[in-house]
Amino acid sequence: MRRHLARTVTVLSAVSALLTTSVAVADDTSAAGLREVLFVGNNWEGTVDVIEPTEPYAKLGRIDMVPDKRERLREIYTDPVRLAYFLGIRETVGEGNDQLVDDMYSTPDGSAVVASRPSFADVVSVDSRSGEVNWRFPVSGNRADHMAVSPDGERVAVSASTSNTVHVLDIRTGDEVGSFGTGDKPHENVYTDGGRYLWNMSIGEVHTPLDDPAMDFTKGDRRITVVDTRTFDVIRVIDMRERLDAAGLEKFSDAVRPAVFSPDESKLYFQVSFFNGFLEYDVAEDRITRVKTLPKNPDTTEDRTKWVNDSRHHGISMSPSGDELCVAGTMDDYATIVDRETLQEGPLITAGKPYWATVNGDGSHCVISESANDRMSAIDFTTGEKVASVPVGDHPQRIRIGHVPRTWAN
């Protein structure tokens, strides 16, 4: 009898352990089921290159983000208003090209890539294996722009740049869960406080020729809008014009471009239109505390109307420790690592119109898109030297860390 009971207990224990293991495996999408990668969005080509997140940055494959291109073009060419905007985007911000992948993130389970497509004025989810469209969300207005994904990966925010709106979507279904109004031409989005707040930076008009500092007021209503992500109520509006003037920077543009927070979110480092450098903003004190001017490339024209979309430098990231910043000197054709304490820059790394900067998978490198050279390059945060460069598609811009299924192949 005792032996029978012992065998029964042993069997039940084994079954319990097996069930526990099975549940753990089923739930373990982050470790066993997913593979971390870098997504490189090739804006003019409409593709996303999938690359190993660390050296040697091997290319794993490519995902077509416009499988429905023929259908979208048919809609556009039969609608005079949409066609006018479509062609306008091509000739202005697109520099003669259609903008087909601006920003992208993966779903939490790695089964899909979600991208904003400016020329199609939408956000689309594409299955990473089949290449089919899962869902499509047309934004309000006529152009989609930068996005941000919530820290839990469940929501994606997208700027609808011609309607002064940010839409927040369920990343799995594409359903809108909220929205809020912004200043003119919303651009960058950043989540803070574990996803509790969302910051949006509006950049105003960047296609007009009125680029002299004296005409800055013609660029529109530019401001930072901070919302509570539970209610989408605006809790704070920051007019950087007032902060710039208080710091004696009256000739600086107040169009906040790419931005990055320090690890404790006490400081915001941001770029503005026309400026070769960046500024430091103390969030609690509500004031600009430091300005870093970076070297000019002597070959860069001083004619502001020739700078793409009012950019001078466009792309900034920070090492995980918060000790170094990485800056993409877009119109000056270089990137550099900057010590955050001293603001001393390192070597100027030659790059072809670097358009974005992010951090690689293990935090050791800054990764930049060289949009003029169709390459993705990596710079060591410690040495400031370029350590890798790989060819990608036509006009890479945004680069994001993402995930695909561990068995993914393309």
Q: Is residue 232 part of a domain?
A: yes
Strand segments (E) across 107-255: 112-117, 122-127, 133-138, 144-149, 155-160, 165-170, 176-181, 186-192, 197-202, 224-228, 234-238
Domain residues for the domain of 255 are 33-294+389-405
Quick check: is 13 in a domain?
no
Distance CA 105, CA 123 (A): 11
Is residue 227 situated within a structural domain?
A: yes
How many domains does the structure of the chain reveal? 1
How far apart CA 390 and CA 376 sit, in angstroms, is 5
Q: Residue 232: its pLDDT value, please?
A: 98
Is residue 20 a part of any domain in this protein?
A: no
Q: CA 364 to CA 378: how far, in whole Å? A: 9
Reading the chain (410 residues) residue by residue, the pLDDT tens digits are 333 434 443 433 443 443 333 333 333 445 569 999 999 999 999 999 999 999 999 999 999 999 999 999 999 999 999 999 999 999 998 999 999 999 999 999 999 999 999 999 999 999 999 999 999 999 999 999 999 999 999 999 999 999 999 999 999 999 999 999 999 999 999 999 999 999 999 999 998 888 898 998 899 999 999 999 999 999 999 999 999 999 999 999 999 999 999 999 999 999 999 999 999 999 999 999 999 999 999 999 999 999 989 999 999 999 999 999 999 999 999 999 999 999 999 999 999 999 999 999 999 999 999 999 999 999 999 999 999 999 999 999 999 999 999 999 88
pTM of the model: 0.90
Element (H, E) at 269: strand 267-272
Residue 278 domain-assigned? yes
Cα angle value 145/146/152 (rounded, 5°): 135
Q: For residue 90, is it within any domain?
A: yes
Q: 167 — phi, psi (to 5°)?
A: -95, 140
User: What is the predicted pLDDT for the residue at 211?
Assistant: 87
Which pLDDT belongs to residue 31? 52
**What is the overall mean pLDDT for the chain?**
92
- Tell whether 72 is covered by a domain: yes
Residues 154 and 165: their CA atoms lie apart, in Å, by 20
CATH number for the domain harbouring residue 196: 2.130.10.10
CA distance 255 to 393: 29
Distance between alpha carbon 144 and the CA centroid of its chain, in Å?
A: 13
Residue 22 burial (C-beta neighbours within 10 Å; 0-12, 13-18, 19+): exposed
Q: Residue 167 falls within a domain, yes or no?
A: yes
